[in-house]
Every structure is written in structure tokens, then in C-alpha cells.
């Protein structure tokens, strides 16, 4: 389309399109929108628009390649195609050097209509890239949690949100249900599970290829440049990134002194009745040292990714699910800050009744209270209990409760995976907490340990247990979740 034949009126909304983050110069936006209209019906790809934006801002190809994480030759080839396309559309030769002056002249003849448009033009397509199908059929309740997450992401524009909780608590299902509510707000929704431990470069390449189908050898080799490239997209588009199972990168406390040189053994979840052995209290750090939330060797670069996404200005959000909180996040979180975390608690009786109903069972209010207390409201374990009652107790909930049956192989496996990450210092504290079913104060706990552990070490251990979702706190009292306490007591009695 020749610009001379183009309508001389551009709506205010068109000029302001892509400015949702409030970071960009209106002159640049007007130029980009003018060029988008000039080349219609052809549309610029994401990377072409970014190259065009940076050229208009006076950046060299070398600077653009460094900023976007692509090779110089690749960026230069993108620029060459752009100038050919624009020369044909504008009816005069366009080069990198004269682009700004030509567009400035064209804009001088364009009037801005202050009437808001009925629809935005040239918005990027809504792209959904969910690596695997997410089942939300067993996400019962969680209305309050979904509301909180929507507030944080939609209204408060949080840049980094963590959903934390022990295994089986429904982190992934809650995330999927929340994304279902929010996906229309975003230009891109990209979901990745990291259970298979991809390197940061592998994950970045995978995500960047969603934005633009570049070959891997077109990308810069260094990690920092690839993060720069991702941040450029997060600034220019509203993106929702989800990283599921982030705890895969986090080193267990008991193995820190052993200096892991290889990834941990694969998870036993979904492997039938095989149960990992009950963790030993003797392994770990001698009871006097503790370091939580640290990364496995070769995965420390992920902390750089979280730091930059959480601290740098952009209009997107990274949503994490994890059994444990990554290191250095806690100090940067706050109710009024763009980095926040949500700790999932167990479900209540109404949700337990819904789970039982989905299995084909009826659960009374009184029985529901016992079931929820016994299993700490853990959704996966509640579902397991309901299945056992249906298949082995002929749907008789009272008979099941009378047996005081607590630990099945699936539950033991789930808990042992979590407990196997503890240091001996954490075990010392856990062994004392077992005694106090209703909770204990910090002072009493320290007295019980006969001051063999300093107060600062005790606080660190309690913080570690809290981060691992193995500690409940209320009114300055500390206690173990009932399910964990019963599991530990069962093995202590052996």
C-alpha cells in the first residue's frame, strides 16, 4: 500500500497501541503504527517490529543483536527485508539511515483523531502455548486463592508470582484454573513444566521460539543476551509465562555438603505402589548448618532469570509453582511489591465433600471434619482416601475412619519425597514438634532442645520447614501439619 493513498487520519488509540507498559515514546509508537498501516495487509512479525523499534530509537544492528540475543547477521538480514518491504510500500527508497527522516515527513501530514477507536488495529495474535494438557477437573474450591491471584496479576500488575505448597496440594490445578480466567488479558500465554530439568539456555530457546520461529543458531550464545531477548518481548507484549515444578532446580538441604554433581533421582509419583525408604535423620549437615532454597549445580543461572523478571520494568508476569521457595525471593516480596507468593493451605469440608461426590461417595459434615483433619486438607490425598473407601471399604466412610487408617503407599511416597530433603538440623526440630500437637512457642522449643541449637539456628530451621510447607504457624505457635505429624509418629514408634 502506497502511503500517499493512505487515509490521513490516525486514531489516538492506534497511535497509543502497544503502550500498555507506559515506557515508550509516543513518537516511536506513531511511526510504528504508521508503517504497520502502510504495509497492510502484510503484518510485521514480532522480531521485525522489535528491530524496527530499535532502529527508530537509533540503535545499531550490533546493539540490537546484543539486546535481543540474536546473531548480528540474522538481525542485519531482518533489517534488509524490512527496508525492501517499506521501500515498496512507501514508494521511495528506504534505508536504515533515512528511515527516521522519511517517516517524520510523512507523519507531518497525518492528523490525530482524538475519538477513541472501536477496536485496536495491528494487535499481535493471541498465542496460547501449553506444553501439556492441564487437568483442572479436581480443582475444587480455591475461589479465594483464584481471586487473590487475579488481583495480583490483573490489577496490581505483579511481575513474579509464586504458588507454594507441599506435594498434592493442587498448585498446578490452581494455576491452570487461574490461567483460564486470565488468558484473554494476554497476547501470549506460555506454559512449561521443568520436571525434566532443562538448562536455562534450553528453556529460553524453547520460549523464544514461541515468539518467533528462529533457528537456535540464530540466537546469541550467551545466556544474558537470551534473557535480554526475553525481556524485550515481555516489555513490548503482555505475556503470561508459567514455570511448573520449579522445585526441580532446588537442592535438598541434606545433600548440600555432599556437593551434588548430577540431578536427583526421578520422582516416584505415578509409579504405582513403590515407596522411597523413610528418610534418615542422621544424614545432612551435622545439625548445625543450613542453607535452603539453593540451586542444583549448573542451574544457578535460573536465579538471574527470576531476579531480572522480578526487578526490571515490563508489562508481563512470570507465574511459578514450587514445593519450596527459591532463594533470595523472600527479601524481595511484599504486599505492595511486584514480587509475591501464595502459600496454599488445605481444603475445607465443603471441598472435601465435592471431591468425595466426584468419586461417587457421600460425606457427612462430621465425617468430613475428621477426614480433612486427618489428611490436612491435601486434595490429592483426599482423592486417594475416597478411592480407597470406595474400592476397599464398600463405600463405608465410618468403617474406614474406625480403622484409623492413615498412610497408604501413595501418601507415604509423597511425604517421604518431601522429608528426604531435610537437613539433620531440621530433623532435630521436627522430632520436638511431633510432641506438640496443638503447637509450641519458640522459647519452649528452644528449651526442649537444651540450647544445643542457638536461637538463630532454630529460626533458620523453622523458616526452612515453613518454606517446605511442613510447618503451620498461628498466634506465635508452631506445629506440624497433622498428616506429617502422624507419618513421623508412625515411624518413630517402630
Per-residue pLDDT tens digits for 160-169: 999 998 888 8
401 with 228: CB under 8 angstroms? no
| Helical spans, DSSP H, in 57-170 | 61-68, 72-90, 99-108, 143-150
More confident residue, 431 or 153: 153
As a CATH number, domain 349-414 is 1.10.8
62 dihedral zone (left: phi>0; alpha: psi -120 to 50; beta): alpha
What pLDDT was estimated at residue 339?
94
User: Same topology for domains 127-250+295-343 and 418-492, yes or no?
Assistant: no
Q: How many CB atoms lie within 10 A of CB 262?
A: 8
Could you tell me the residue ranges of all domains in the chain?
Answer: 3-113, 127-250+295-343, 349-414, 418-492
- Integer-rounded Cα Rg, in Å, for the chain is 27
Assign domain 418-492 one CATH number from 1.10.10.10, 3.30.2130.10, 1.10.10.1800, 1.10.3720.10: 1.10.10.10
Convert 283-341 into a string of H (helix), E (strand) and C (coil): CCCCCCCCCCCCECCCCCHHHHHHHHHHHCCCCCEEEEEECCCCCCCHHHCCCCCCEEE
Run of H or E including 397:
helix 397-402
Per-residue pLDDT tens digits for 235-258: 988 999 999 999 888 876 555 444
CA distances from 124 to 38, 94, 241, 309 (A): 17, 25, 17, 22
Q: How many residues are present in the chain?
A: 494
159 contact partners, CB below 8 Å, separation of at least 6: 309, 310, 312, 314, 316, 317, 318, 338, 339
Q: What is the pLDDT averaged over residues 336-343?
A: 92
What pLDDT was estimated at residue 271?
39
Which regions of 423-491 does DSSP assign to beta strands (E)? 472-474, 477-479
Q: How many CB atoms lie within 10 A of CB 93?
A: 11
Phi and psi, residue 113, nearest 5°: -90, 120
What pLDDT was estimated at residue 277?
62
More confident residue, 414 or 267: 414
Q: Is 80 exceeded by the pLDDT of residue 358?
A: yes
Run of H or E including 162:
strand 160-164
More confident residue, 188 or 25: 188
> Burial, 26: exposed, middle or buried (Cβ in 10 Å; 0-12, 13-18, 19+)?
exposed
129 with 26: CB under 8 angstroms? no
What pLDDT was estimated at residue 267?
36
Q: Is 90 exceeded by the pLDDT of residue 310?
A: yes
The domain 127-250+295-343 having CATH identifier 3.40.50.620: the answer here is no
Angle between helices 46-56 and 223-236 (to 10 degrees): 90
3-state secondary structure of 440: strand
What pLDDT was estimated at residue 428?
86
* Closest by Cα among 62, 80, 79 to 71: 62
* Closest by Cα among 194, 162, 197, 167 to 178: 162
Cis amide linkage into residue 280, ω under 30° from 0: no
* Closest by Cα among 286, 62, 47, 319 to 177: 319
Q: Long-range contacts made by residues 257-264, C-beta under 8 angstroms, separation at least 24?
A: 257/284, 257/285, 257/289, 259/297, 260/296, 260/297, 261/297, 263/197, 263/296, 264/296
pLDDT band at 16 (very low <50, low <70, confident <90, very high): very low
Q: What is the pLDDT averaged over residues 85-98?
A: 84
Run of H or E including 193:
strand 188-193
195 with 246: CB under 8 angstroms? no
Q: What is the mean pLDDT of the chain?
A: 78
What pLDDT was estimated at residue 276?
57
More confident residue, 182 or 90: 182
Phi and psi, residue 250, nearest 5°: -95, 130
CA distances from 292 to 249, 368, 422 (A): 12, 36, 9
Q: Is 50 exceeded by the pLDDT of residue 432?
A: yes
Q: Terminal CA-to-CA distance of the chain, rounded, Å?
A: 82
Amino acid at each position: 500500500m502506497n502511503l500517499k493513498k493512505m487515509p490521513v487520519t490516525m486514531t489516538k488509540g492506534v497511535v497509543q497501541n502497544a503502550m500498555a507498559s507506559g515506557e515508550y515514546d509516543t513518537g516511536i509508537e506513531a511511526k510504528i503504527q504508521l508503517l504497520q498501516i502502510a504495509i497492510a495487509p502484510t503484518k510485521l512479525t514480532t522480531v521485525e517490529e522489535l528491530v524496527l523499534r530499535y532502529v527508530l530509537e537509533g540503535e545499531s544492528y550490533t546493539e540490537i543483536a546484543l539486546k535481543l540475543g540474536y546473531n548480528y547477521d540474522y538481525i542485519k538480514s531482518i533489517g534488509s527485508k524490512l527496508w525492501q518491504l517499506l521501500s515498496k510500500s512507501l514508494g521511495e527508497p528506504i534505508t536504515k539511515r533515512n528511515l527516521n527522516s522519511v517517516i517524520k515527513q510523512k507523519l507531518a501530514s497525518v492528523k490525530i483523531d482524538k475519538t477513541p477507536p472501536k477496536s485496536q488495529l495491528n494487535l499481535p495474535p493471541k498465542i496460547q502455548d501449553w506444553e501439556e494438557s492441564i487437568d483442572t477437573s479436581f480443582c475444587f474450591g480455591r475461589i479465594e486463592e483464584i481471586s487473590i491471584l487475579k488481583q495480583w496479576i490483573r490489577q496490581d500488575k505483579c511481575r513474579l508470582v509464586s504458588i507454594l505448597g507441599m506435594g498434592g496440594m493442587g498448585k498446578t490445578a490452581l494455576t491452570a484454573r487461574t490461567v483460564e480466567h486470565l488468558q484473554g488479558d494476554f497476547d501470549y500465554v506460555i506454559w512449561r513444566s521443568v520436571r525434566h530439568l532443562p538448562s536455562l539456555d534450553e528453556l529460553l530457546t524453547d520460549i523464544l521460539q514461541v515468539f518467533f520461529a528462529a533457528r537456535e543458531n540464530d540466537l546469541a550464545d550467551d545466556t544474558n543476551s537470551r534473557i535480554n531477548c526475553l525481556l524485550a518481548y515481555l516489555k513490548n507484549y503482555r505475556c503470561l509465562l508459567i514455570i511448573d515444578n520449579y522445585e526441580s532446580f532446588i537442592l535438598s538441604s541434606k545433600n548440600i555438603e555432599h556437593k551434588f554433581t548430577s540431578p536427583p533421582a526421578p520422582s516416584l509419583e505415578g509409579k504405582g505402589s513403590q515407596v522411597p525408604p523413610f528418610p534418615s535423620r542422621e544424614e545432612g549437615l551435622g545439625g548445625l548448618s543450613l542453607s535452603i532454597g539453593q540451586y542444583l549445580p549448573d542451574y544457578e543461572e535460573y536465579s538471574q532469570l527470576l531476579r531480572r523478571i522480578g526487578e526490571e520494568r515490563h508489562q508481563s508476569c512470570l507465574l511459578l509453582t514450587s514445593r519450596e521457595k527459591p532463594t533470595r525471593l523472600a527479601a524481595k516480596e511484599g504486599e505492595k511489591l511486584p514480587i509475591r507468593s501464595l502459600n496454599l493451605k488445605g481444603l475445607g469440608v465443603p471441598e472435601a465433600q465435592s471431591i468425595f461426590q466426584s468419586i461417587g461417595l457421600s460425606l457427612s459434615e462430621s465425617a468430613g471434619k475428621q477426614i480433612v483433619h486427618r489428611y490436612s486438607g491435601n486434595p490429592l490425598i483426599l482423592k486417594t482416601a475416597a478411592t480407597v473407601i470406595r474400592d476397599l471399604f464398600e463405600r463405608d466412610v465410618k468403617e474406614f475412619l474406625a480403622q484409623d487408617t492413615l498412610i497408604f503407599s501413595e501418601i507415604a511416597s509423597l511425604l517421604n519425597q518431601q522429608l528426604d530433603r531435610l537437613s539433620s538440623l531440621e530433623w532435630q526440630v521436627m522430632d520436638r514438634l511431633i510432641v506438640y500437637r496443638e503447637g509450641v512457642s519458640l522459647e519452649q522449643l528452644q528449651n526442649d532442645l537444651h540450647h544445643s541449637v542457638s536461637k538463630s539456628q532454630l529460626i533458620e530451621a523453622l523458616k526452612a520447614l515453613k518454606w517446605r510447607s511442613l510447618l503451620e504457624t498461628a498466634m506465635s505457635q508452631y506445629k506440624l501439619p497433622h498428616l506429617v505429624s502422624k507419618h513421623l509418629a508412625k515411624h518413630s514408634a517402630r
